[in-house]
Amino acid sequence: MSSRVSTLILAAAILLPWSTLNTPSPLRENEMEAAAIIGLPPGAAVMDETAHSGDVPVASGPVPADEEVPNAADDLPNQITAERMLVMRRGGTLAGLLDDADIEKPDAFAAVEQLGRYVRLDQLRPGNEISIRFTTGQPTVLLEVEIEPEPGRLIRAFRKESGDWTAGETLVPRDRYLVRAEGDVDGGLFPAMIRSDVPPGIAMSIIRILGHQLDFQRDLMPEDRFKILYERVRADDGEILGHGQTLRVTLHLSGRKLDIWSHTNRLGETDWYDDQGRSLRRSFLRTPLDGARVSSGFGSRRHPILGYNRMHAGIDFAAPTGTPVFAAAAGVVISARNEGGYGLIVRIRHANGVETRYAHLSRFGHNVSPGRRVAQGSVIGHVGSTGMSTGPHLHYEVVANGRAVDPSLHVQPSVRLAGSELSAFRNRQRHLEALVAMLATNNELALASD
């Protein structure tokens, strides 16, 4: 994946390595425990039709990258940097993705302009991953954007100490390998993967993928097992350059098996499917924020402030102040305002008479206003403790046809492969199974040379 990526696990307010082109450093135990409950969203589908990456000029010749990369965050006192992985969706643009990630338009335009000198951004495919690094204060300041159009070719735009933007390209001869990693789920899925030498970037990507399918606090037991197949990229001398696609993830859970496969369709769009060809993506996210724990469920409870039993019409997620809150599904903002006991709250209207509500926010996303279309995974606000609240958390509600429903149950599946696409998916499954058989007792198998 990315060569210089690290992430801030906001649930614990600590820095956590995300991905690196070198062998990752061991993670501290408290960092791994914090990461174990993360379920990242699948990246934002772009709804902003005013941004067109095809308008950015493409240079006719190479532009040399700077040899030394300054850290622009050093000039931003009292700022903590964080990272997020964005995923291109059908009809999307990079500018739109950055906008949905709450990045200010001048920074987004500068980064897109620089990246456009090396790659045709209008040719990015659904499923392409883009990593961003930014500050978490007010306002959010973009520091770096990285794209890897193909294994071994990394394009990176970054803010210099002067505030200007530049970009560079790294291209190294490489060989691809199939890698197998497996182990027991003990102490959380994320730390278990790290102990099995899965790169942090791959592990975080898997957590994000499974966030549609699993409740990481309730569905995983210490005796459960996992197996992961992914691509590793090496230079001619054997040095690890990075990692390509994650191809398959298998979880042997208590009483069931979850087997998911990466598949690229005829249009070049990459997505994840279960063993029967059903998409893992759901119309609504299970959790609308990263790195949070459920502090109060749906149903009757004793109110922590009022002191008597009443219906709790949503789910509360405890998380640090400032944690980004994501739109659970594509829709239109109904309102973003202060509503007394709810505090700062965003209401979003979705298809089929569904409304979602996000309460007790500390602030709204910079692009959130009534009538604004938002995509699934867009940053629409930040966790706070406004209104009738005893501490920082997100109160999340789903209302269907005027009636509150349990948000954890409102996650309908999306598409299922059929016809020639299903046949291609089955062929890919058989091919990967044959490669796994060739691995035998080894954990790495050479695939091809570039």
> Quick one: how far is CA 348 from the chain centroid?
21
Token reading at 125: 């495919």
One-character DSSP codes across 204-266: HHHHHHHTTT--TTTS--TT-EEEEEEEEEE-TTS-EEEEEEEEEEEEEETTEEEEEEEEE-T
What is the dotted CATH code of the domain comprising 40-50+58-171? 3.10.450.350
Q: How many CA atoms lie within 13 A of 138 on its CB side?
A: 10
Architecture of domain 175-281+418-449: Roll (3.10)
What pLDDT does 414 receive? Answer: 62
Which residues of the chain does CATH 2.70.70.10 include? Answer: 293-409
Please, which residues bridge with residue 302 across strands?
309
Return the bridge partners of 317, or none: 294, 394
Q: What is the largest CA-CA distance in the chain?
A: 70
Kindly report, as residue ranges, where domains of CATH 3.10.450.350 are found in the chain.
40-50+58-171, 175-281+418-449
pTM: 0.56
Q: Both ends of the chain: CA-CA distance in Å? A: 17
* Percent of the chain whose pLDDT exceeds 90: 24
Q: Which residue has the higher pLDDT, 267 or 52?
A: 267
- Residue 438, sorted as left (phi over 0), alpha (psi -120 to 50) or beta, turns out to be alpha
pLDDT in tens, 286-332: 778 875 667 666 555 454 554 545 566 788 888 888 888 999 888 99
pLDDT in tens, 208-236: 778 667 766 667 787 889 999 998 888 77
In sequence order, the 6+-apart residues with CB closer than 8 A to the CB of 325 are 288, 289, 346, 358, 361, 379, 380, 381, 382, 383, 394
Q: Tell me yes or no: is domain 293-409 CATH 2.70.70.10.
A: yes
**Residue 55 corresponds to which tokens in the numbers above?**
């308008």
Average pLDDT, rounded, for the chain: 75
CA 118 to chain centroid, in Å, comes to: 24
Model confidence at 256, in pLDDT bands (50, 70, 90)? confident
